[in-house]
Structure 1
Amino acid sequence: MKYYSLAVIIGLVLPWGCGQKKDTIHIATKPMTEQFILGEMLSLLIEENSDLHVKITKGVGGGTSNIHPAMVKGDFDLYPEYTGTGWLVILKKDTLLPPDKLYAELQKEYSREYGLKWVAPYGFNNAYSLAVSNDAAEKYHLKTFSDLARYPDRFIFGAEYDFYEINDGYTDLCAYYDIKFKKNLDMDIGLKYEAIKSGNIDVMNIFTTDGQLSGANLTVLDDDKHFFPSYYCATVVREETLKEHPELEGILEKMKGILTDSEMAGMNHEVDVKHRSEREVAAEFLQKKGLLKQDNHGK
């Protein structure tokens, strides 16, 4: 009878007794509430529908400028990204395209240049827009940016300092739509919502998924001539990761078209204003959509 050393026995037993270690998918997010929520949604869906483990790196400093090269290098497997950012910042394009054509071109160039794939646009567009009070929208029949041009010198515009200084900001916007405001005010970004609520301004610039939009009694106007770039959000994933885990793409596709601008704004509001955890808010939304079991994912 042969006698085996304890070390050999342990070596033989451990892989079977403890099970194989799960593969880990590394998700990155930019330093903003919306991205934290989206990262949790992706994590919950992957863990719910596969044997994969997920690690989220939240709030990567520098956002796209640091996440993108780390993706190419292989430090991260996937992250939520915006079409306008990919087009303007990564591909360094200066000619805008309609949203559907923009997405198709992004897919081609990201695959060819970086081995990355855009998957399943979530449905919402976190872009610049303009908002007016519901009362003003009803009184003057305001639905689009062009509608503002029909009332020269009637409305007071408010925005943070940067919006007056950036390219494609206030000056270019007014020229593009031939809008003439009665007055424009430079104000802190955190004061705009209070200013329009109190009537100190009539029109302000916003991001379409601002958490403060929820319950603010504002009408977001349609950029009917497409002045601002579109910033539809989708998952960017390494093609190599998809080859290693072919089940992953089908899981990521579950995010396709599930979010409107107002729904994303509502979730941002839950975290920013009501101070709920990103994971809890993400789990609750996915459960409502029938994409996650009713359990303790959000706890």
Structure 2
Amino acid sequence: MKKFNRYYKKVLLVVVVFTSVISLVGCSNNGRKIKIATKPMTEQFILGEMLALFIEDNTDFKVEITKGVGGGTSNIHPAIVKGDFDLYPEYTGTGWSFVLKEEGIPDDKTLYKGLTEKYENQYNLKWVGLYGFNNTYGLVIRKDISEKYNIKTYSDLAKYSSELIFGAEYDFYEREDGYDALCSTYGLKFKKAIDMDIGLKYQAINSKEIDVMNIFTTDGQLATSDIVVLEDDKNFYQTYYCGTVVRKDVLKEHPELEEVLMKMENILTDKEMAVLNNKVEADGLDEREVAKEFLSSKGLLK
């Protein structure tokens, strides 16, 4: 009997140890947080929530989001290099010109190749996919005028600009790539150019006080205004495609994370991003609910 009891205790000990090991393996990421940072803008808040939903839906990681980091890239970039954050949404144009301080703007394919290589070599950071939309500067025109003159591009606009009123915020007239450079490139000569508050531009064009104005291509109010976004046919503006920047050591430690983040590849168009921004800014909806609804509508959440 004593011999049997000793044998039973040994078997029991082996079972307990084996069960504990299995438990530890199954919960290998328990307690591990993925830290996301976002810039202080609606679009980034929504993207941060999308990333969090993707990660939590496909892994056992917990996600911590630091929303609206003051200074945007100027403070997030050094913080992620230091290890304070694991990943964040960034724009190709910002990475190229602001972070890398590269002069000259090559075509999109060349820029992205150079951007990703330099980020990995210089900062040990990796760009994991692009979401699909391009939040760059642009011009819009009232829809009725676009249809009347068949204006679809900046070059088309130049033919009729002398009959139209242009509106923009003060900064646009002072920027190096602002009003003067734009007009010089396309031969634009507006009947009148008005300096206005940035928050009143959409109201002004909707009430027909102005005919043309500058915008960001994912502005929320684009979704509800009767206007047409014109094609920058000479590629005057730099592109700002958005994607996820991640610390390489995080991906090395957790390679499954890269596959999850790649699910964000090409899921958003400019128009879709504008609609989502408008739901938060105009309709007052919660960023996480907006993100969740969009992902669910695309069948991207379990």
- TM-score between both structures, scaled by the size of structure 2: 0.90
1:112 alignment partner in structure 2: 121
Separation (CA, whole Å) in 2 of partners of 1:34 and 1:64 = 14
SS of 2:283's equivalent? coil
Tell me the residue number matched to 2:3.
none
Does residue 88 of the first structure (1) align with residue 85 of the second (2)? no
Tell me the secondary structure at the aligned position of residue 89 of structure 2. strand
- SS in structure 2 of the partner of residue 68 of structure 1: helix
- Equivalence map 1:172-251=2 (5 Å): 172-251=181-260
Q: 1:32 aligns with which of 28, 37, 41?
A: 41
Amino acid at match of 1:235: T
Q: CA deviation at 1:84?
A: 0.6
Aligned residue identity for 1:147:
D
Q: More deviation in 184-193 or 146-155?
A: 146-155
- Which of residues 266, 279, 289 is equivalent to 1:257? 266
SS at match of 1:59: coil
> Which aligned pairs between 1:38-117 and structure 2 lie closer than 5 A?
38-117=47-126
Q: Deviations over 1:123-182 (max 9, x none)?
A: 000000000111111111111111111124111100000000111000000001111111
**For the residues of structure 2 that align with 1:181 and 1:152, how far apart are their CA atoms?**
5
Counterpart among 121, 125, 135 of residue 130 in structure 2: 121
- Please name the residue that 2:281 is paired with: 272
The alpha carbon displacement at 1:188 in A equals 0.4
The answer to which structure has the higher helix fraction is 2
The structure with more radius of gyration: 2
Measured against aligned partners, the alpha-carbon deviations of 1:52-78 in whole angstroms (never above 9, x if no partner) come to 111000000100000000111111010
Per-residue deviation at 1:23? 1.2
CA distance in 2, matches of 1:57, 1:191: 30
- Identify the match of residue 149 of structure 2 among 113, 123, 140: 140
What corresponds to 2:12 in structure 1?
none
- Counterpart CA distance in 2 for 1:43 and 1:273 is 23
Instruction: Please tell me the residue identity of whatever aligns with 1:121.
Output: L
Find the aligned partners of 2:223 and 2:78 in 1 and give their Cα distance. 35
Identity %: 62
* TM-score of the pair, normalised by structure 1: 0.91
- Distance in 2 separating the partners of 1:93 and 1:173: 21
2:261 counterpart letter in structure 1: L
Q: Secondary structure at the match of 1:131?
A: strand
Deviation at 1:22, TM superposition (A): 2.6
- Distance of 1:98 and 1:141 partners within structure 2: 28
SS in 1 for 2:126: strand
Number of aligned pairs?
A: 281
Q: SS at 2:280's partner residue? A: helix
Unaligned runs of 5+ in 2: 1-16
Q: Equivalent residue for 1:6?
A: none
Residues 266-285 of structure 1, C-alpha deviation per residue, up to 9 Å, x if partnerless? 00000001110000000000
SS in structure 1 opposite 2:131? Answer: coil
**133-142 or 55-64: bigger deviation:** 133-142
1:192 and 1:93 map into 2 onto residues whose CA distance is 32
Q: Quick one: which amino acid aligns to residue 222 of structure 1?
A: E
Write the distance in 2 (CA, Å) between the matches of 1:222 and 1:55.
Answer: 39
Aligned-partner Cα distance in 1 for 2:258–2:116: 15
Partner of 2:132, secondary structure, is coil
> After the TM superposition, which segments of 4 or more aligned residues of structure 1 sit over 3 Å from their partners?
14-17
1:155 maps to what in 2? 164
Secondary structure, counterpart of 1:224 in structure 2? coil
Question: 3-state DSSP class of the match of 1:123?
Answer: strand
| SS of residue in 2 equivalent to 1:194 | helix
Distance 1:215 1:200 in 2: 17
